[in-house]
Amino acid sequence: MRHPEHHRINRSGWLRAAVLGANDGIVSTASLIVGVVAAGSNRESIILAGIAGLAAGAMAMAAGEYVSVKSQEDTERADLKMESDALENNREEEEQELAAIYRDRGLDETLAEEVARQLMKHDALGAHARDENGITTELSAQPIQAAFYSAASFSIGAAVPVVTTIIAPVSLLLWLVPILAIGLLGALGGIAAATGGAPVFRGAVRVCFWGSVAMVITAAVGKFFGAAV
């Protein structure tokens, strides 16, 4: 009887983009708002900076993710094209190459050759893509999906500090925005770690630490240049 196994590796593509987007949305927008508040700006300027940061950040995340993952996709396609040509022109050598990979993984020579022969017969390109190049369906590049998740999650993360600047008194923003941001970062880090099967506490502490560092530095910059102006 087979026991159920719930692997999480198939989530890695969209999870990475979503976590990165939300984390960046919270940290960058909260840090921007804290810096503007520390500089002594009025509510209108603070809200404008927050909304501009949200819009610019979401578009930058989408564009950056798309270009990055598209480059990965282009590389994967080039490798698959190379393998396809090699299979068409040197099928015997490619089968031997596949058998050598399985021998290196611990199979004896006879079994390695038989496995290579069977897999070549079933799906030669798929076998070489997976075992020679590490390209699988679950981990293949999906640029549009990555861009969407990054932009959407950035916007959701950034919306919290922006809404806070709209409804909270300006006198409280210098403390309220960082407290909310750190709380959200901790929750996000914990959820992401749990979803990916990693230790929850470690994931939460990690994002809280770096988010706090970013906001402290930005507040110091805002205070310094605000006083200078």
Assigned domain for 206 exists: yes
Cα-to-chain-centroid distance, residue 215:
21
Tokens in use for 93?
């050598």
Q: What is the mean pLDDT of residues 155-169?
A: 92
Give the pLDDT score at 141.
Answer: 63
Which of 6-15, 37-46, 213-222 is the most confident on average? 37-46
Residue 201 has pLDDT above 60, yes or no: yes
Tokens in use for 33?
């708002």
Assigned domain for 83 exists: yes
Which of 179-183, 205-209, 213-217 is the most confident on average? 179-183
**114 vs 56: which has the higher pLDDT:** 56
Digit-coded pLDDT (tens) for 60-102: 988 988 888 888 778 777 777 877 777 778 777 777 877 888 8
Residue 140 has pLDDT above 50, yes or no: yes
Give the pLDDT score at 138.
Answer: 54
Q: How many domains does the chain have?
A: 1
Residue 104 has pLDDT above 70, yes or no: yes
Residue pair 217/208 in contact (Cβ under 8 Å)? The answer is: no
Q: What is the mean pLDDT of residues 99-111?
A: 80
Computed over every residue of the chain, the mean pLDDT equals 79
Assigned domain for 181 exists: yes
DSSP symbol at 8? -
Assigned domain for 20 exists: yes
Assigned domain for 211 exists: yes
Tokens in use for 71?
């480059």
Q: How far is CA 56 from CA 15, 18, 25, 151, 165, in A?
A: 22, 17, 10, 10, 18
Assigned domain for 3 exists: no
Give the pLDDT score at 10.
Answer: 45
CA distance 33 to 51: 10
For the four alpha carbons of 180, 186, 190 and 195, in that order, the dihedral sign comes to positive
Under 8 Å CB-to-CB from 207, ≥6 apart: which residues?
Answer: 23, 185, 186, 188, 189
Residue 137 has pLDDT above 70, yes or no: no
Confidence band (pLDDT; 50, 70, 90) for 16? low
DSSP symbol at 132? T
Tokens in use for 50?
């927050």
Assigned domain for 78 exists: yes
CA distance 192 to 189: 5
DSSP symbol at 3? P
Assigned domain for 1 exists: no
Tokens in use for 76?
């994967």
Confidence band (pLDDT; 50, 70, 90) for 155? very high
Give the pLDDT score at 7.
Answer: 42
Tokens in use for 222?
């805002």
55 three-class SS = helix
Domain hosting 169: range is 9-228
Q: What is the mean pLDDT of residues 168-185?
A: 89
Give the pLDDT score at 6.
Answer: 45
